[in-house]
Amino acid sequence: MASSQKTTRPEWVMKEVLPDLVGIDGHEFRINYDVPQHITDRLLDLLYQDPGPRYEDIPDDLKAYEVPPRAESPTTFTIKATIGGHEFEISSEAPEHIHSVYEELKMREEEVAYEDIPDELKEYEVSRIASEPSIDQPGGTKG
């Protein structure tokens, strides 16, 4: 049976939630809550200028409220593959066409000879190993 007792006091309920960040010229600044109202007002005035301000035009006293840049995305990865007896490492930040070339080679049914590897992919070669030509994939080898 559900309780009819109220769990919060009406005076504790927020009527609206204000933003706590504003972005100006690729930089984020704290506003509201832990920032004095006059600073928030000045940052919002800058935000709504037309044209928008450049970072260099923001006064130093407002830059004190800038949020430090975030760390590199945790979604970056490196593909480590053996193709034609050579090891390759392809970062997730490599150009899309490099990933496409790799995927095309990985999908081949026959073994891939080193000579068949496009030169643009050879730029990602890290070493030659003594093994049969194959393409290593997470969880197994395709040869």
Under 8 Å between Cβ of 112 and 135: yes
Q: Let me know whether 32 and 88 are in one domain.
A: no
In a domain, 6, yes or no: no
Residue type, 34: D
Q: Let me know whether 100 and 57 are in one domain.
A: no
In a domain, 71, yes or no: no
In a domain, 13, yes or no: no
> pLDDT at position 8, please?
67
In a domain, 26, yes or no: yes
> pLDDT at position 36, please?
95
Domains identified in the chain, total number: 2
pLDDT in tens, 113-128: 888 899 999 999 987 7
Query: Is the pTM for the entire model greater than 0.75?
Result: no
Q: Let me know whether 85 and 129 are in one domain.
A: yes
Give the residue numbers spanning the domain of 90: 78-142
Task: Tell me which residues of the chain have a pLDDT lower than 70.
Answer: 1-8, 10, 12-14, 71-75, 129-143
